[in-house]
Amino acid sequence: MEAARQDWIRLLPSVSDPVDARALAFHIAYFDAGNWKWTGDGTQAQWEFRPPQDVQDLAISEMQETQQAAPRWQRAAAIKYCRHVLDGAAEVSAHDLRPLLEYAAGAEASPHADGPDDEEWLTGDMYTVRCAVAAVALVKMPSWLEEHPPWKARCKEWILSACSKHASFSMLEHPFPSPIGSWDRFCAHAIGALWSSAPEDHECRSAVAILVGASYHHANHHLAGDAKYDYRSRMFVELASFRRRLGDDFSRLLHLAVLFARLRHIGWAGPPDTSPNVDGAFSHFANAFVRGTLPLLPEDWPRLAIEWPAKLRRPRKWPDWVQAQGWDQGFDLAALVSAMAWLPSEAGNLKARDRKFVVDTMGRLDDVILRDLGEDQEDTPEQPEMRSTRLRPQGSDVDDRGHKGWFGRARTAFKEVMSRDTKPRGLAPSRQKSRTTPLPIEDTIARWCAAYVVREPDPAVRRRLWEPWLSRPPTRYYWAESFVSNLCLEGFAEVPATASFVDAWKEIFKYAIREGRWLDREAEGFSSISVARAFLRPHGIQFGQAWTAERSQVASVLLPYWERWAALAMEHSWCAKDFLWMLQAPAFKVARRDGLRWVATSKLAQWIEDDRAQEALVFLLQQVEIDRGDGLELRDDQRKAFMMLLDRLVAMQNREAIELARRIRPSL
């Protein structure tokens, strides 16, 4: 140990980090026998560590630094507490609110708050803590503020001043991101209460417009629509609860948000000289919203995706590849979905006065998301290399110009980039044609739309919402699968299941067989299998969790459809495996005996060789035998199907099946 201590002593001068140096000095002192003293009074004795004075001085100075930093971390604790209160994880009382307000009033701006590497990113600046406390007071304690007008005025001032301070950011900028508990999220919580109390207040309207167009914490494609992380989504969710009080102004706000999504898309897709014009055009629309002269959201607002906004000067020249790909049209999907994040909360509100407007908005959002997922198109003459790449024999590493491998193709693309100011040919197909799976935003919209379908009593309205997802071409099967899976997820969330969910499931199943090509034996590729499996359970949920005993009535009502499903899809081993596992779920305790007949009449030869399907079939037969022990006897046709399946497994030398046959054959 002494040798190790001497090595540490020699190492100490070379340690440059002061924190590491203090820690090493403490260890050296700790392992020095001279720093340990024997104390005792004869009855109780112990060793006591007494470090030398220099180590004690280091510890004292470190403690003083911690105490100086304490106010910053107290600020972080206050912000975290406010976040928990607004999320419903904590409660606040009048006794707690006044100290919070006094603490926020005494908060000062840090002299180093502008640097991205400063601790302000973690602890929040003056605006963050003040907006946090103001949001708690305005949202959770409005009656207390009415009794204390000075504090109400100060909370309003804090929210509006934070918005005005950050109004100078360009809508296309990406400043250093703030944490989840940042000023913009707290303003999004509080702005609804402020604006609804004074709808004509220009300062409040200006703050709302700033929050719509600010890019300080811009939502990306993974967070858009999630009010827990995206401040724009949170703001629209809060404002939607005041729709009746805001009247037409809420429609004007949606119009402003849709224009923002259109302008932001143009700003990113257009040439560099477009960006200043985009900011100027949005300022024009924002000022019109503040004055109350911005028109209401038009009924056919999806057409804005192909129109050029007013007050926006067209660029002198669009790149040819932008127009060829269609990128001069469309919306910024993250911004658009954030503005529509209030739609899911209205899915079950069937008595709302503006129900038609809400459902129409949901349907048009579907149209926007799915507008480019039409029928497949042939390659254009401008993309010869892309066509030849697909027609090249598999395994070939020579491109059409004689270059070997990916390096040769990359060299060709680089020469094209350097030779002309256009997008190189053959690098990628169009944005929509190159994607084979939905974006996270599209999955989000599928879940929102499914929430409306399972609660909508009108069959015509239901079809208006689900048909765009099921009418995709076969190559877009992931979109149909996503919607059907989300339909089951939303439907199973209700116990007992709603009549609308059962009716919608039947309608979609019939459509998939007759018109949608999803359960057609003639359909080529993997599409029929993928969509067919989505009808059985939500993606990522076990059958036992999806089909619980409480849903046995739904399983019985859909019995004819399960028989039809088995006849169409069980020729595929993956479908057969899933269907066999589903029959073992608690909801199919009565229906699984009929399921034996469907399985026995399917094309066994096409799937029974699969080990996973065999395992599922053995477990199903064992479960049927357990049901017999509970008093559920088999009819003659069911018994014949049971024995036929068991004999088939025994003939294939399945060990579990042989053991099961030895045990139950005498009783059958």
Please report which confidence band the pLDDT of residue 123 belongs to, taking 50, 70 and 90 as the band edges.
Answer: very low
At 267, which helix (H) or strand (E)?
A: helix 248-269
CA nearest 238: which of 253, 255, 260, 248?
A: 253
Stretch 261-290: mean pLDDT, rounded? 81
Query: Is 98 found in the same domain as 13?
Result: no
Let me know: does 560 contact 598? Beta carbons within 8 Å: no
For 22-73, the pLDDT digits (tens) are: 666 766 666 666 655 656 555 555 555 555 666 556 555 655 554 444 455 5
pLDDT at position 21, please? 67
pLDDT for residue 163 is more than 70:
yes
Query: Is 176 found in the same domain as 161?
Result: no
For 570-582, the pLDDT digits (tens) are: 878 888 889 999 9
One-character DSSP codes across 473-537: -GGGHHHHHHHHHHHHHHHHTSSSPPHHHHHHHHHHHHHHHHTSSSS-TT--TTHHHHHHHHTTS
Most confident of 166-175, 265-274, 431-440, 478-487: 478-487
- Determine, yes or no, domain membership for 207: yes
Stretch 164-170: mean pLDDT, rounded? 63
Query: Is 296 found in the same domain as 253?
Result: yes
Alpha carbons within 13 A on the beta-carbon side of 247 = 6
- Determine, yes or no, domain membership for 136: yes
Compare 262 and 111 and report the one with higher pLDDT: 262
Mean pLDDT estimate for the chain: 75
CA nearest 609: which of 661, 571, 568, 567?
A: 571
Question: Which tokens in the block code for residue 308?
Answer: 């050029």
Stretch 538-545: mean pLDDT, rounded? 84
Stretch 360-374: mean pLDDT, rounded? 79
pLDDT at position 110, please? 47
Stretch 596-600: mean pLDDT, rounded? 88
Stretch 359-369: mean pLDDT, rounded? 87
Q: Helix, strand or coil for residue 283?
A: helix
One-character DSSP codes across 606-658: GTTTSHHHHHHHHHHHHHHHHHHHTT-PPPHHHHHHHHHHHHHHHHTT-HHHH
- Cα Rg, the chain, nearest whole Å: 33
Q: Helix, strand or coil for residue 430?
A: coil
Residue 468: CB atoms within 10 Å: 19
Let me know: does 72 contact 123? Beta carbons within 8 Å: yes
Query: Is 268 found in the same domain as 199?
Result: yes
Let me know: does 162 contact 187? Beta carbons within 8 Å: yes
Euclidean distance between CA atoms 213 and 264, whole angstroms: 9
Q: Among 87-91, 129-133, 425-429, name the one with the lowest average pLDDT.
A: 425-429
Let me know: does 260 contact 286? Beta carbons within 8 Å: no
Looking at the DSSP bridge assignments, the partners of residue 323 are none
Please report which confidence band the pLDDT of residue 400 belongs to, taking 50, 70 and 90 as the band edges.
Answer: very low
Instruction: Provide the angle, in degrees to the nearest 10, between the axes of the packed helices 592-600 and 559-569.
Output: 30
Q: Among 55-69, 181-195, 222-236, 384-398, name the one with the lowest average pLDDT.
A: 384-398
Q: Helix, strand or coil for residue 37?
A: strand
Stretch 253-258: mean pLDDT, rounded? 94
pLDDT at position 526, please? 46
- Determine, yes or no, domain membership for 438: no
Query: Is 186 found in the same domain as 280?
Result: yes
pLDDT for residue 377 is more than 90:
no
Query: Is 40 found in the same domain as 136?
Result: no
Query: Is 267 found in the same domain as 142?
Result: no
- Determine, yes or no, domain membership for 551: no
CA 424 to chain CA mean position, Å: 33
pLDDT for residue 167 is more than 90:
no
Euclidean distance between CA atoms 562 and 570, whole angstroms: 11
- Determine, yes or no, domain membership for 8: yes
Residue 610: CB atoms within 10 Å: 16
pLDDT for residue 169 is more than 80:
no
Euclidean distance between CA atoms 368 and 372, whole angstroms: 8
Euclidean distance between CA atoms 328 and 265, whole angstroms: 8
pLDDT at position 376, please? 42
Distances (CA, A) of 149 to 145, 156, 263: 6, 11, 40
Q: How many domains are there within the chain?
A: 4
Let me know: does 550 contact 585? Beta carbons within 8 Å: no
One-character DSSP codes across 337-352: HHHTTTTGGGTT-TT-
Looking up tokens 């088939």 gives 648
Query: Is 177 found in the same domain as 148?
Result: no
185: which residues sit within 8 A by CB, 6+ positions away?
217, 231, 234
pLDDT for residue 143 is more than 50:
yes
Q: Where are the alpha helices (DSSP H) in 180-247?
A: 183-197, 202-213, 231-240, 243-246
Query: Is 205 found in the same domain as 330?
Result: yes
Stretch 155-164: mean pLDDT, rounded? 88
Instruction: Provide the angle, in degrees to the nearest 10, between the axes of the packed helices 94-105 and 149-165.
Output: 50
Query: Is 154 found in the same domain as 35?
Result: no
Please report which confidence band the pLDDT of residue 429 belongs to, taking 50, 70 and 90 as the band edges.
Answer: very low
Let me know: does 242 contact 198? Beta carbons within 8 Å: no
- The 3-state secondary structure of 94-119 reads HHHHHHHHHHHHCCCCCCCCCCCCCC
Query: Is 587 found in the same domain as 633?
Result: yes
CA 41 to chain CA mean position, Å: 67
Q: Which domain holds residue 25?
A: 2-51
Query: Is 213 found in the same domain as 104?
Result: no
Stretch 168-192: mean pLDDT, rounded? 65
Distances (CA, A) of 6 to 10, 13, 31, 56, 417: 6, 13, 10, 21, 63
Let me know: does 632 contact 593? Beta carbons within 8 Å: yes
CA 170 to chain CA mean position, Å: 26
Residue 98: CB atoms within 10 Å: 14
Looking at the DSSP bridge assignments, the partners of residue 404 are 398
Please report which confidence band the pLDDT of residue 399 belongs to, taking 50, 70 and 90 as the band edges.
Answer: very low
Q: Among 172-181, 254-263, 625-634, name the one with the lowest average pLDDT.
A: 172-181
Q: Among 13-22, 200-209, 490-499, 646-655, name the one with the lowest average pLDDT.
A: 13-22
pLDDT for residue 119 is more than 50:
no
Please report which confidence band the pLDDT of residue 567 belongs to, taking 50, 70 and 90 as the band edges.
Answer: confident
Phi, psi (rounded to 5 degrees) for 188:
-65, -35
pLDDT for residue 488 is more than 70:
yes
pTM over 0.85: no
pLDDT-above-90 percentage for the chain: 15
pLDDT for residue 636 is more than 70:
yes
DSSP state of 398: B
For 296-335, the pLDDT digits (tens) are: 999 889 888 888 887 777 766 666 656 565 666 788 888 8
pLDDT at position 273, please? 64
- Determine, yes or no, domain membership for 469: no
CA nearest 46: which of 54, 57, 55, 36?
A: 36
> Which phi-psi region, left, alpha or beta, contains residue 498 (left: φ > 0; alpha: ψ -120 to 50)?
beta
- Determine, yes or no, domain membership for 547: no
Virtual CA dihedral for 23, 25, 27, 33, nearest 10 degrees?
A: -160
Q: Helix, strand or coil for residue 256?
A: helix
DSSP state of 34: G
Looking at the DSSP bridge assignments, the partners of residue 48 are 37
Q: CB burial class (10 A; 0-12, 13-18, 19+) of residue 201? A: middle
- Determine, yes or no, domain membership for 445: no
pLDDT at position 291, please? 93
Helices (H) and strands (E) in the chain, counts: 32, 2
Let me know: does 371 contact 302? Beta carbons within 8 Å: yes
Looking at the DSSP bridge assignments, the partners of residue 49 are 36
DSSP state of 378: P
Phi, psi (rounded to 5 degrees) for 202:
-70, -30
